[in-house]
Amino acid sequence: MSRTVLVTGATGKQGGAVVDALLAQKDQNWTILAVTRNPNSEAAQKLAAKSFNVKLVEGNLDNVPDLFDAAQKISGPIWGVFSVQVSQGKGVTLEGEIKQGKAMVDESVKSGVSHFVYSSVDRGGDDVSWETETPIPHFQAKYHLDKYLKERAGDKMGWTILRPVAFMDNWQPGFPARVFMAALSNNVGTKPIQWIATSDIGYFAGLAFASPKTYNHQAISLAGDVLNVQDLVKNFRDVVNANMQPAFWMLGSLLTTLVGEMGTMVRWFGTDGYKADVEMCRKRHPSLKSFETWLKTDSPFKL
Protein backbone atom coordinates (compact mmCIF):
# COMPACT_ATOMS: atom_id res chain seq x y z
CA MET A 1 0.00 0.00 0.00
CA SER A 2 1.37 3.38 -1.00
CA ARG A 3 1.86 6.10 1.59
CA THR A 4 1.95 9.75 0.58
CA VAL A 5 4.60 12.13 1.89
CA LEU A 6 4.44 15.89 1.28
CA VAL A 7 7.94 17.36 0.97
CA THR A 8 8.43 21.11 1.29
CA GLY A 9 11.52 22.73 -0.19
CA ALA A 10 11.66 19.86 -2.66
CA THR A 11 13.82 21.72 -5.18
CA GLY A 12 16.19 22.88 -2.43
CA LYS A 13 19.06 21.09 -0.74
CA GLN A 14 17.22 19.48 2.16
CA GLY A 15 13.90 18.75 0.50
CA GLY A 16 15.66 17.35 -2.55
CA ALA A 17 17.73 15.09 -0.31
CA VAL A 18 14.55 13.79 1.33
CA VAL A 19 13.04 12.98 -2.08
CA ASP A 20 16.20 11.08 -3.04
CA ALA A 21 16.25 9.18 0.26
CA LEU A 22 12.62 8.10 -0.09
CA LEU A 23 13.17 6.98 -3.68
CA ALA A 24 16.18 4.94 -2.53
CA GLN A 25 14.00 2.89 -0.16
CA LYS A 26 13.13 0.10 -2.58
CA ASP A 27 11.27 -1.83 0.13
CA GLN A 28 8.83 1.07 0.59
CA ASN A 29 6.06 2.33 -1.68
CA TRP A 30 6.02 6.10 -1.39
CA THR A 31 4.04 8.67 -3.31
CA ILE A 32 6.08 11.85 -3.00
CA LEU A 33 4.35 15.21 -3.29
CA ALA A 34 7.13 17.67 -4.10
CA VAL A 35 6.19 21.24 -3.25
CA THR A 36 7.42 23.91 -5.65
CA ARG A 37 6.50 27.50 -6.39
CA ASN A 38 7.02 26.89 -10.10
CA PRO A 39 6.34 23.38 -11.42
CA ASN A 40 7.61 24.45 -14.86
CA SER A 41 11.07 25.36 -13.59
CA GLU A 42 14.05 23.30 -14.68
CA ALA A 43 14.68 22.15 -11.10
CA ALA A 44 11.08 21.00 -10.64
CA GLN A 45 10.99 19.18 -13.96
CA LYS A 46 14.28 17.45 -13.17
CA LEU A 47 12.80 16.32 -9.86
CA ALA A 48 9.64 14.96 -11.46
CA ALA A 49 11.70 13.05 -14.01
CA LYS A 50 13.34 10.98 -11.28
CA SER A 51 10.32 8.73 -10.77
CA PHE A 52 6.64 8.29 -11.55
CA ASN A 53 6.20 8.33 -7.77
CA VAL A 54 7.17 12.02 -7.63
CA LYS A 55 4.22 14.38 -8.15
CA LEU A 56 4.72 18.15 -8.32
CA VAL A 57 2.50 20.33 -6.15
CA GLU A 58 2.36 24.04 -6.90
CA GLY A 59 2.20 26.14 -3.76
CA ASN A 60 4.13 28.00 -1.12
CA LEU A 61 4.29 28.23 2.66
CA ASP A 62 2.58 31.62 2.78
CA ASN A 63 -0.74 29.85 2.11
CA VAL A 64 -0.51 26.42 3.69
CA PRO A 65 -4.26 25.56 3.60
CA ASP A 66 -4.32 26.04 -0.18
CA LEU A 67 -1.12 24.01 -0.45
CA PHE A 68 -2.71 21.08 1.37
CA ASP A 69 -5.86 21.36 -0.74
CA ALA A 70 -3.78 21.17 -3.92
CA ALA A 71 -1.79 18.23 -2.57
CA GLN A 72 -4.85 16.25 -1.51
CA LYS A 73 -6.47 16.74 -4.92
CA ILE A 74 -3.48 14.96 -6.41
CA SER A 75 -3.14 12.05 -4.02
CA GLY A 76 -5.88 11.99 -1.42
CA PRO A 77 -4.89 11.72 2.27
CA ILE A 78 -1.38 12.78 3.22
CA TRP A 79 0.37 10.28 5.49
CA GLY A 80 3.62 12.16 6.18
CA VAL A 81 5.05 15.67 5.96
CA PHE A 82 8.63 16.91 5.73
CA SER A 83 8.72 20.53 6.82
CA VAL A 84 11.59 22.92 6.21
CA GLN A 85 11.46 26.70 5.95
CA VAL A 86 13.78 29.16 4.25
CA SER A 87 15.80 30.70 7.08
CA GLN A 88 17.94 33.32 5.38
CA GLY A 89 17.72 35.57 2.36
CA LYS A 90 15.87 38.55 0.98
CA GLY A 91 12.56 39.16 2.75
CA VAL A 92 13.04 36.32 5.24
CA THR A 93 12.25 37.19 8.86
CA LEU A 94 12.17 35.31 12.14
CA GLU A 95 8.45 36.06 12.45
CA GLY A 96 7.76 34.84 8.92
CA GLU A 97 9.62 31.58 9.47
CA ILE A 98 7.70 30.92 12.67
CA LYS A 99 4.38 31.73 10.99
CA GLN A 100 5.07 29.34 8.12
CA GLY A 101 6.31 26.59 10.41
CA LYS A 102 3.31 26.81 12.71
CA ALA A 103 0.93 26.78 9.74
CA MET A 104 2.52 23.54 8.52
CA VAL A 105 2.04 21.93 11.93
CA ASP A 106 -1.54 23.19 12.28
CA GLU A 107 -2.64 22.04 8.83
CA SER A 108 -0.94 18.66 9.29
CA VAL A 109 -2.80 18.03 12.55
CA LYS A 110 -6.06 19.21 10.97
CA SER A 111 -5.55 16.92 7.96
CA GLY A 112 -4.83 13.82 10.03
CA VAL A 113 -1.17 13.44 9.05
CA SER A 114 0.38 10.42 10.76
CA HIS A 115 4.03 11.48 10.94
CA PHE A 116 5.65 14.92 10.71
CA VAL A 117 9.39 15.38 10.25
CA TYR A 118 10.69 18.88 10.96
CA SER A 119 14.16 20.11 9.99
CA SER A 120 15.40 22.33 12.79
CA VAL A 121 18.98 23.08 13.92
CA ASP A 122 21.26 21.87 16.68
CA ARG A 123 21.74 24.41 19.44
CA GLY A 124 24.12 22.53 21.73
CA GLY A 125 23.12 18.86 21.76
CA ASP A 126 19.92 16.81 21.91
CA ASP A 127 18.84 17.92 25.38
CA VAL A 128 20.30 21.43 25.53
CA SER A 129 18.61 22.36 22.25
CA TRP A 130 15.18 22.11 23.90
CA GLU A 131 16.13 24.91 26.30
CA THR A 132 18.50 27.08 24.27
CA GLU A 133 17.43 29.70 21.73
CA THR A 134 20.96 31.05 21.03
CA PRO A 135 21.38 34.69 19.91
CA ILE A 136 21.01 33.70 16.23
CA PRO A 137 17.58 34.73 14.82
CA HIS A 138 17.01 31.77 12.49
CA PHE A 139 18.07 29.39 15.29
CA GLN A 140 15.57 31.14 17.58
CA ALA A 141 12.77 30.53 15.08
CA LYS A 142 13.54 26.82 15.11
CA TYR A 143 13.63 26.76 18.91
CA HIS A 144 10.07 28.10 19.00
CA LEU A 145 8.92 25.71 16.27
CA ASP A 146 10.44 22.70 18.07
CA LYS A 147 8.35 23.57 21.12
CA TYR A 148 5.24 24.31 19.09
CA LEU A 149 5.36 21.01 17.21
CA LYS A 150 5.78 19.01 20.41
CA GLU A 151 2.89 20.76 22.16
CA ARG A 152 0.51 21.05 19.20
CA ALA A 153 0.94 17.48 17.99
CA GLY A 154 0.27 15.99 21.41
CA ASP A 155 -1.00 12.47 20.88
CA LYS A 156 -2.73 13.40 17.62
CA MET A 157 0.31 13.22 15.32
CA GLY A 158 3.67 11.49 15.43
CA TRP A 159 6.74 13.63 14.95
CA THR A 160 10.52 13.60 14.59
CA ILE A 161 12.74 16.67 14.82
CA LEU A 162 16.05 16.61 12.94
CA ARG A 163 18.63 19.13 14.14
CA PRO A 164 21.46 19.37 11.60
CA VAL A 165 24.68 21.26 12.22
CA ALA A 166 26.62 23.32 9.61
CA PHE A 167 26.02 22.16 6.03
CA MET A 168 28.96 20.81 4.06
CA ASP A 169 26.90 21.69 0.99
CA ASN A 170 27.22 25.41 1.66
CA TRP A 171 30.85 25.26 0.50
CA GLN A 172 31.11 26.37 -3.13
CA PRO A 173 34.19 26.96 -5.31
CA GLY A 174 35.32 30.56 -5.51
CA PHE A 175 36.73 33.46 -3.55
CA PRO A 176 33.60 34.12 -1.41
CA ALA A 177 34.19 30.78 0.32
CA ARG A 178 37.69 31.91 1.27
CA VAL A 179 36.22 35.10 2.74
CA PHE A 180 33.86 32.97 4.82
CA MET A 181 36.84 30.81 5.83
CA ALA A 182 38.51 34.01 7.06
CA ALA A 183 35.40 34.87 9.07
CA LEU A 184 35.54 31.43 10.67
CA SER A 185 39.25 31.75 11.38
CA ASN A 186 38.77 35.19 12.95
CA ASN A 187 36.04 34.01 15.32
CA VAL A 188 36.65 30.32 15.92
CA GLY A 189 40.42 29.98 15.69
CA THR A 190 41.43 26.33 16.02
CA LYS A 191 38.18 25.17 17.61
CA PRO A 192 36.51 22.31 15.68
CA ILE A 193 33.11 22.82 14.04
CA GLN A 194 30.61 20.05 13.30
CA TRP A 195 29.45 19.46 9.71
CA ILE A 196 26.73 17.43 7.97
CA ALA A 197 26.01 16.54 4.34
CA THR A 198 22.45 17.40 3.30
CA SER A 199 22.17 13.96 1.71
CA ASP A 200 22.53 12.54 5.22
CA ILE A 201 19.76 14.82 6.51
CA GLY A 202 17.61 13.28 3.80
CA TYR A 203 18.65 9.80 4.91
CA PHE A 204 17.57 10.43 8.51
CA ALA A 205 14.25 11.88 7.35
CA GLY A 206 13.77 8.71 5.33
CA LEU A 207 14.52 6.61 8.42
CA ALA A 208 11.91 8.51 10.41
CA PHE A 209 9.25 7.95 7.74
CA ALA A 210 10.15 4.28 7.22
CA SER A 211 10.24 3.53 10.97
CA PRO A 212 7.88 6.08 12.55
CA LYS A 213 7.40 4.12 15.76
CA THR A 214 11.15 3.94 16.33
CA TYR A 215 11.69 7.65 15.73
CA ASN A 216 8.46 9.01 17.17
CA HIS A 217 8.88 11.88 19.66
CA GLN A 218 12.63 12.04 19.06
CA ALA A 219 14.73 15.15 18.46
CA ILE A 220 18.06 14.15 16.95
CA SER A 221 21.06 16.40 16.37
CA LEU A 222 22.86 15.39 13.17
CA ALA A 223 26.59 15.66 12.39
CA GLY A 224 28.89 13.60 10.20
CA ASP A 225 32.31 15.16 10.82
CA VAL A 226 34.18 17.55 13.10
CA LEU A 227 36.85 19.80 11.57
CA ASN A 228 38.48 23.11 12.36
CA VAL A 229 39.56 25.69 9.79
CA GLN A 230 42.97 24.10 9.32
CA ASP A 231 41.37 20.68 8.80
CA LEU A 232 39.01 22.12 6.20
CA VAL A 233 41.82 23.80 4.29
CA LYS A 234 43.82 20.55 4.29
CA ASN A 235 40.83 18.51 3.05
CA PHE A 236 40.18 20.95 0.22
CA ARG A 237 43.85 20.85 -0.79
CA ASP A 238 44.44 17.10 -0.46
CA VAL A 239 41.14 15.80 -1.81
CA VAL A 240 40.16 18.22 -4.60
CA ASN A 241 43.33 20.30 -5.02
CA ALA A 242 41.47 23.50 -4.11
CA ASN A 243 43.10 26.49 -2.44
CA MET A 244 40.73 27.43 0.36
CA GLN A 245 43.18 29.27 2.57
CA PRO A 246 41.38 32.02 4.50
CA ALA A 247 41.33 35.34 2.68
CA PHE A 248 42.83 38.42 4.35
CA TRP A 249 41.41 38.64 7.88
CA MET A 250 39.94 42.10 7.27
CA LEU A 251 37.66 40.71 4.54
CA GLY A 252 36.31 38.14 6.98
CA SER A 253 35.73 40.90 9.50
CA LEU A 254 33.94 43.00 6.89
CA LEU A 255 31.68 40.06 6.01
CA THR A 256 30.58 39.49 9.60
CA THR A 257 30.02 43.23 10.06
CA LEU A 258 27.93 43.72 6.92
CA VAL A 259 25.96 40.48 7.32
CA GLY A 260 24.98 40.82 10.96
CA GLU A 261 23.30 37.46 11.43
CA MET A 262 26.28 35.65 9.94
CA GLY A 263 28.52 37.50 12.38
CA THR A 264 26.33 36.45 15.28
CA MET A 265 26.41 32.85 14.08
CA VAL A 266 30.17 32.49 13.62
CA ARG A 267 30.79 34.15 16.99
CA TRP A 268 28.44 31.55 18.51
CA PHE A 269 30.50 28.84 16.81
CA GLY A 270 33.45 30.16 18.79
CA THR A 271 31.77 30.62 22.17
CA ASP A 272 29.31 27.72 22.20
CA GLY A 273 28.89 25.70 19.03
CA TYR A 274 27.18 22.55 17.86
CA LYS A 275 27.26 19.44 20.04
CA ALA A 276 25.68 16.59 18.09
CA ASP A 277 26.65 13.02 18.95
CA VAL A 278 28.54 12.00 15.80
CA GLU A 279 29.10 8.40 16.90
CA MET A 280 25.41 7.91 17.65
CA CYS A 281 24.58 9.27 14.20
CA ARG A 282 27.05 6.86 12.63
CA LYS A 283 25.56 3.89 14.49
CA ARG A 284 22.17 4.73 13.00
CA HIS A 285 23.65 5.49 9.59
CA PRO A 286 26.92 3.58 8.99
CA SER A 287 27.44 5.30 5.61
CA LEU A 288 27.33 8.77 7.18
CA LYS A 289 29.57 11.01 5.09
CA SER A 290 32.81 12.48 6.33
CA PHE A 291 33.88 15.81 4.86
CA GLU A 292 36.40 13.97 2.68
CA THR A 293 33.70 11.65 1.35
CA TRP A 294 31.37 14.58 0.70
CA LEU A 295 34.09 16.34 -1.30
CA LYS A 296 34.53 13.23 -3.45
CA THR A 297 30.89 12.28 -3.98
CA ASP A 298 28.54 15.23 -3.44
CA SER A 299 30.45 18.48 -3.72
CA PRO A 300 30.70 20.85 -6.72
CA PHE A 301 34.49 20.73 -6.43
CA LYS A 302 36.09 18.77 -9.27
CA LEU A 303 38.62 16.07 -8.45
Q: What one-character-per-residue DSSP string does 47-89 give?
A: HHTT-TTEEEEE--TTSHHHHHHHHHHHHSS--EEEE----SS
**Is the pLDDT reported for residue 126 higher than 90?**
yes
Contact at 8 Å (CB) between 115 and 158?
Answer: yes
CA 207, 208, 214, 220 dihedral sign is positive
**Is the pLDDT reported for residue 303 higher than 80?**
no
**Is the pLDDT reported for residue 2 higher than 90?**
no
**Is the pLDDT reported for residue 123 higher than 90?**
yes
**pLDDT at position 26:** 93
9-47 pLDDT, tens digit each: 999 999 999 999 999 999 999 999 999 999 999 999 999
**Is the pLDDT reported for residue 89 higher than 80?**
no
Q: What is the DSSP letter of 301?
A: S
> What is the percent of the chain with per-residue pLDDT over 90, rounded to a whole number?
95
55-74 pLDDT, tens digit each: 999 999 999 999 999 999 99
pLDDT confidence band for 1 (50 / 70 / 90)? confident
**pLDDT at position 90:** 74
The stretch 189-213 carries a mean pLDDT of 99
**pLDDT at position 277:** 98
**pLDDT at position 141:** 97
Mean pLDDT score across all residues of the chain: 97
**Is the pLDDT reported for residue 111 higher than 80?**
yes
pLDDT confidence band for 92 (50 / 70 / 90)? confident
**pLDDT at position 302:** 86
The stretch 281-297 carries a mean pLDDT of 98
Structural domains in the chain, CATH included, are: 3-166+197-222+274-286 (3.40.50.720)
230-274 pLDDT, tens digit each: 999 999 999 999 999 999 999 999 999 999 999 999 999 999 999
Helix (H) or strand (E) holding 248: none
Distance CA 294, CA 79 (A): 32
Q: How many CB atoms lie within 10 A of CB 251?
A: 17
